[in-house]
Amino acid sequence: RSVDGVRWLREHPAAWAIGLIAAAALRPRGVFGFARNGFRLWAAWQALRVPKARLAARVLPQVLDWYRTWKSRRR
């Protein structure tokens, strides 16, 4: 089972990039932050199974919002 996961990650290098960006941008703050980030990642995972046009329409505003909050946190 884990071998299938490794093969999937090898075939989808974008998953690595998305995971790293998510980990950096969504540094959990306590248990609540961790749960919220887990839900966000689950929602993104569900969106990945949707056709690409709907995916872009759903995810882009979210990503921009996350980026804005991340930038404001760093100041």
Question: Positive or negative, the Cα torsion across 64, 66, 69, 75?
Answer: negative
CA angle 45, 14, 71 (to 5 degrees): 80
**Residues in the chain, total:** 75
What is the reported pTM?
0.30
Predicted confidence (pLDDT) per residue in 65-75, tens digit: 888 888 888 76
Please report, in angstroms and rounded to a whole number, the separation of the first and last CA atoms in the chain. 43
On whether the CB atoms of residues 37 and 21 are closer than 8 A, the answer is no
Tally of structural domains, the chain = 1
Predicted confidence (pLDDT) per residue in 3-61, tens digit: 777 777 677 777 777 777 776 666 666 666 667 777 777 777 776 766 766 667 777 78
Alpha carbon dihedral 22, 4, 11, 57, in 10-degree steps, equals -50
Q: Structural domain of residue 12, as residue ranges?
A: 2-74
